[in-house]
């Protein structure tokens, strides 16, 4: 199973790319979601003792524009919360498929045996049809159970992706007044950004800040 990427939300469950494009110029307070696996510190609040991003340094003296960007692939590889949650899904889908494989194979063998008995004249047409119908019902039940587990798996992935997006946008919004960005774009595969100047890249500072808060929340 391929590793989840924040830039592949549509391909996985939600949509093409998680693009953090947030109009930070409007910095009115908003409600934040309490993380299920962390402390009671709200996402919209600065965490005491956490790394404070120096976006001005990250811009390397470039002309001060109210815009910056994040390399979403690098962020997905470097953000501890997303990496740790992503590891929980490793091999899960294949495990579900493998678990149901023996039952499906057994049903297939029964279907083939039933057909052979009918063709050899050892079973009447009525009896063969009845068994075929019964086996088909069992196969449908197995397929429904497997599908429910796979859908629950995808839903769990979707929730992690949505939660990661909320954490990132909440983090950026906390520092919007201080660094006066109007836009922060998500750049990577699937994004609509055709060119990005490296001097506007704040990815490393965002990763440091997010991971610092994550570590403090999960002491």
Check whether 16 has a pLDDT greater than 60: no
Least confident of 39-48, 136-145, 167-176: 39-48
Higher pLDDT, residue 7 or 137: 137
The boundaries of the domain holding residue 152 are 1-219
Check whether 116 has a pLDDT greater than 70: yes
* pLDDT confidence of residue 6: 53
Mean pLDDT of 152-173: 92
- In the structure, what pLDDT confidence band is assigned to residue 168 with cuts at 50, 70 and 90? very high
Tokens at residue 14, please?
């939600």
Name the domain count of the chain: 1
SS (H, E, C) 34-50: CCCCCCCCCCCCCCCCC
Check whether 44 has a pLDDT greater than 90: no
* pLDDT confidence of residue 179: 75
* pLDDT confidence of residue 56: 59
State how far the alpha carbon of 3 is from the alpha carbons of 6, 13, 81, 98, in Å: 10, 13, 14, 19
């Amino acid at each position: 199973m391929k590793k989840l990427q924040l830039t592949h939300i549509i391909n996985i469950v939600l949509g093409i790319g998680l693009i953090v494009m947030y109009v930070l110029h409007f910095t009115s307070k908003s409600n934040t979601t309490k993380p299920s696996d962390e402390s009671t510190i709200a996402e919209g609040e600065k965490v005491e003792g956490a790394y404070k991003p120096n976006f001005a340094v990250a811009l390397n003296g470039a002309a001060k524009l109210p815009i910056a960007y994040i390399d979403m692939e690098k962020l997905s590889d470097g953000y501890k919360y997303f990496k740790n949650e992503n590891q929980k899904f490793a091999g899960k889908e294949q495990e579900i498929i493998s678990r149901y494989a023996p039952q499906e194979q057994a049903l297939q063998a029964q279907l083939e045996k039933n057909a052979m008995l009918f063709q050899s004249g050892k079973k009447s047409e009525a009896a063969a049809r009845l068994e075929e119908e019964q086996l088909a019902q069992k196969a449908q039940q197995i397929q429904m159970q497997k599908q429910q587990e796979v859908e629950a798996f995808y839903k769990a992935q979707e929730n992690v992706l949505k939660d990661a997006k909320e954490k990132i946008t909440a983090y950026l919004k906390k520092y919007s007044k201080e660094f006066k960005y109007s836009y922060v774009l998500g750049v990577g595969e699937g994004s609509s950004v055709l060119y990005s100047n490296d001097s506007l890249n704040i990815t490393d500072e965002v990763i440091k800040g997010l991971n610092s808060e994550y570590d403090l929340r999960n002491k």
